[in-house]
Amino acid sequence: METSFESERTLKLLRDIRCRAFLWPLCCMILMVWSMPDVRAEPASQGWSPPDKTPESVFKSAGKDLSNIGHAAGTPDFWRSALLIGGVSLVSAIADKPLDRFAVNHGNNGSMPGVERVGNALPFVAIAYSATMFLSSDTDSKPARTAYSALAAGGVGAVSALGLKYMVGRARPSAGQGSASFTPVSTNNGDTSWPSGHTTVMWAVITPYAKAYDAPWLYGVAAVTNVARVAGRNHWFSDTVAGSLLGYAIGNFMWESHQSNYHGAEWMIMPNRVVVNWRFD
């Protein structure tokens, strides 16, 4: 009877250690996200309004978003954020091997397989929810504007992550080549490790909602995807850190750019007068 009690206490201690092993780096990562500088879009001279439901309007708005991103790439904030993402990712690589060993030993134990399934599905759930809200809400409503920002951020995040994968070419943990295996700029890099595409998309989609509804707890939901990608040995921990920071920066940029002058003054300069329209929600 005493041996059984000791065994139960030992198992409980191991579960607590396993939980903390994943939680401490994620908590540090979320704190780093909150402290990173915002990448802001330049205010639009004519304000911004969400597209209607026609493909032509959506493509037109998407073109404006891409133009805004191009302009932002020439600003100091953009490059400062890029350097920060790279630097934090490099520092977080210290935890890559220990957490991968932990995933090998405990990734299939207890509730971790369930967490992995949920975390892998969350980006697709978030995208589906955003698409539903955009299509079912009034064009000028807050849910529609936020959903469009989330969808735009998710699309840019997916393309950005794929492009960086091709450029960096880091081997996944499951490949067995180690965390320092890179094949930069190779045509075979579509399924490589850095950054995590799932994590980038998840954080990009969730950030406009966290900003619009003042709900920072949503970042905790997004962090489940980080846990899933590390626990399943799909990514190194630093891959998910880079994905989180990249996704946050993209989501914040889209949300900020779509707020520019929407609630406030719109200026129109004509040959003989200046007209100011003030828009309210």
Q: What is the DSSP string of 104-125?
A: HHHTTSTTHHHHHHHHHHHHHH
Q: Among candidates 127, 147, 125, which has minimal Cα distance to 136? A: 147
Residue 23 located in a structural domain: no
Q: What is the reported pLDDT for 84?
A: 87
Do residues 171 and 218 lie in contact, with contact meaning Cβ atoms separated by under 8 Å? Answer: no
For CA atoms 73, 229, 193, 34, the dihedral sign is: positive
Residue 34 located in a structural domain: no
Residues in the chain, how many?
A: 281
Tokens of 122: 């969350």
Residue 157's domain comprises 48-278
> Which residue, chain included where needed, has tokens 């350097």?
83
Q: Among candidates 40, 65, 48, which has minimal Cα distance to 279? A: 48
Q: Name residue 276's beta-bridge partners.
A: 267
Q: What is the reported pLDDT for 137?
A: 85
Pairing of strands 273-278, 265-270: antiparallel
Residue 142 located in a structural domain: yes
Classified as helix, coil or strand, 274 is: strand
pTM for the full predicted model: 0.76
Residue 167 located in a structural domain: yes
Spell out, as residue ranges, where the chain has pLDDT lower than 50.
1-6, 10-46, 261-281
Residue 157 located in a structural domain: yes
Tokens of 92: 């977080």
Q: What is the reported pLDDT for 266?
A: 43
Residue type, 53: K
For CA atoms 49, 135, 247, 175, the dihedral sign is: negative
Q: Name residue 42's beta-bridge partners.
A: none
Rg (CA), the chain: 21
> Which residue, chain included where needed, has tokens 């619009």?
212
d(CA 97, CA 64): 42
Q: What is the reported pLDDT for 69?
A: 76
Q: What is the reported pLDDT for 202?
A: 97
Residue 195 located in a structural domain: yes
Please provide the distance, in angstroms rounded to a whole number, between the alpha carbons at the two ends of the chain: 67
Number of folded domains in the chain? 1
Q: What is the reported pLDDT for 24?
A: 43
Task: Determine if residue 263 is left, alpha or beta; phi over 0 gives left, psi from -120 to 50 gives alpha, anything else beta.
Answer: beta
The backbone torsions φ and ψ at residue 278, rounded to the nearest 5 degrees and listed phi first, read: -110, 120
Report the CATH number at residue 213.
1.20.144
For the segment 29-81, what is each residue's pLDDT rounded down to a tens digit? 444 444 444 444 444 434 566 676 666 666 677 777 777 777 777 788 888 88
Residue 8 located in a structural domain: no
Do residues 193 and 172 lie in contact, with contact meaning Cβ atoms separated by under 8 Å? Answer: yes
* Bond before 195 cis per omega within 30 degrees: yes
Q: What is the DSSP letter of 170?
A: B
Q: What is the reported pLDDT for 47?
A: 54
Residue 94 located in a structural domain: yes
